[in-house]
Amino acid sequence: MTPAQQLLEHCRAATTQLSILGTDADADSRPGSSVLLDDCAAEHIAVFRQQARLVLALDRGGNDVDGAVNADTIVRRLDELITATNRMFYAVPPDEVRLGWREMFAAAHAVKFHLGLLRSHLLSAMDRTDMDDGGELADKEVNELVAVLDRGLIVSGGPGDVVGRVWVNEALDLLERVWEDFLSRLRPGHRAGGPAAAAAAVPSSQSSQSSPPPSTNRITATKPIPRLPGMQLHQFEAHIRHSGTPLVFTDLMTTWPALTTRSWLSTAYLLSQTFSGRRLVPVELGRSYLDDGWTQEIMPLREFIARWTGGKDGMEETAGEDEKDAVSRSSRSRRTVGYLAQHNLFGQIPSLARDIITPDLCFADPQRHGNGRGKLALPLRNAWFGPAGTVTPLHTDPYENLLCQVVGEKYVRLYGPDKGGAMRATGNTAGVDVGAVEGWDGDGDGDAGRMDDEEQRRFRGVEYVDCVLRPGDALYVPEGWWHYCRGLSVSFSVSFWWN
């Protein structure tokens, strides 16, 4: 089968299963697994099943003009289901969002993808060769198809065994093969949106960056954390249990492809692993999530790279700035800086997961599980990618943490768990803005901007340790320690949480 035929079969199989969700037949066909959508309203399930069956009818050649099957109506009803389900995510705390709501959200996006594929020029041109039209329109359609699946995956988390993460990534891999086949049949003068076009979305000097991005200021560690070449697992466990202080390891990442053979310094490489940068990522907009005006947006990775790590706020423009100029620029732009923060990028895009290796130390048993979350089967991995000036406010984590630096430099300051009384804490987040207290961000937008001189003096007297992480460094952040992180250049980090 051609890639297009394989993708259609992939969609048909899923939509067929989705069309009977919530029925006794579905339960019988999948012994040992729960009936999906159980938490959704019966009328929502009925409407969804109807749309899935209509898409299957269209796939079999149903009428989309004056007949009973109308694609625009299907899209409208699927969008209504997506909107209704999305509202439910905000009706309760995140850990109380019901599985059925997330499954409905993911399923509606999968069926919408199937329908979009059927209506696209990619399929209508399947049997044509040496085409001389349709490239730009098909490029737009491909962007929309990727966005449909990625948005469903990012927001829902990819639950279930019908259209979960594995299904989504297989669909997107097949779509990329379909797109490459489509481009190969276009006349050269009519090609649009291929890898070259994606690379052009960022400044040409950044498309194959091979040296570390320069730091934009001279913030240094004044109370440095010990730096060690490494530890045996039993030694690390003993350290956690008896001392439990932060450490910087210098040799845990020497074999990571992200630092060697498949370097994340290369923008071209990152684009090549993300469907020419089409894959969507969630981006925080604002200096800190504690600031007024902070928000979030989901956008293509190539747009994020162009806007935040390779354009006027990126590497070249900030090179050579002194600290005063960097602080001024950071203060001016703190409301608009973009940060891909605490995102499970490696579950969403498995091709990037092969570039990192979970350190053995992440399997140390600290013999403490006081957070009430239960023991993790495997470490949780998150990506942190952004330009200079990105900030993670002072906070604590409910897990042990290894923060591994892949690209650029990052400043980290840590306070012991016994220093919580000085933090103006709300839950696990401090109300003190370290950047504002230190004068790195002007007055700040949070509580620190309202601290009087005496309060700031007392806070500056609280004992801490700090470090500047460079590529290849891995910082151990013990559970319960307060820590503040600040990008000093374009920075890409990976955190591993475990207990």
Please, which residues have CB within 8 angstroms of residue 284's CB and are 6 or more apart in sequence? Answer: 294, 295, 296, 338, 339, 340, 341
The pair of structure tokens assigned to 235 is 């030694």
Alpha-carbon Rg for the chain, nearest whole angstrom, is 25
- Looking at residue 207, its pLDDT comes to 46
- Edge-first strand order for the sheet with 482-487 is 391-395, 482-487, 410-415, 465-469
pTM: 0.86
The per-residue DSSP string of 43-73 comes to: HHHHHHHHHHHHHHHHHTT--SSSSS--HHH
- Looking at residue 98, its pLDDT comes to 87
The pair of structure tokens assigned to 165 is 């993460």
- Looking at residue 370, its pLDDT comes to 57
Domain ranges of the chain: 3-193, 227-498
Estimate to the nearest angstrom the gap between the alpha carbon of 496 and the chain centroid. 14
The pair of structure tokens assigned to 252 is 């845990």
The pair of structure tokens assigned to 270 is 């990152």
Continuous H helices in 243-389: 267-272, 301-304, 315-318, 323-333, 345-348, 350-353
- Looking at residue 117, its pLDDT comes to 96
Instruction: List phi, psi (to 5°) of 365.
Output: -100, 110
Task: Determine the 3-state secondary structure of 133 from DSSP.
Answer: coil
Please, which residues have CB within 8 angstroms of residue 259's CB and are 6 or more apart in sequence? Answer: 253, 406, 471, 472
- Looking at residue 209, its pLDDT comes to 55
The pair of structure tokens assigned to 182 is 């489509």
**What is the CB-side half-sphere exposure of residue 463 using CA atoms within 13 A?**
6
Task: Determine the 3-state secondary structure of 296 from DSSP.
Answer: strand
- Looking at residue 434, its pLDDT comes to 92
pLDDT averages per 10-residue partition of the chain, 499 residues: 94 95 51 51 88 94 62 95 90 83 94 95 65 71 97 93 94 96 73 52 49 69 94 94 95 97 95 97 84 85 91 37 42 66 96 97 83 82 95 94 97 94 85 88 57 85 96 97 96 96
Residues in the chain: 499
CATH fold for domain 227-498:
Jelly Rolls (2.60.120)
The per-residue DSSP string of 164-229 comes to: SHHHHHHHHHHHHHHHHHHHHTB-GGG--SSHHHHHTTS-GGGTT--SPPPPSS----SSBPPEES
Estimate to the nearest angstrom the gap between the alpha carbon of 115 and the chain centroid. 26
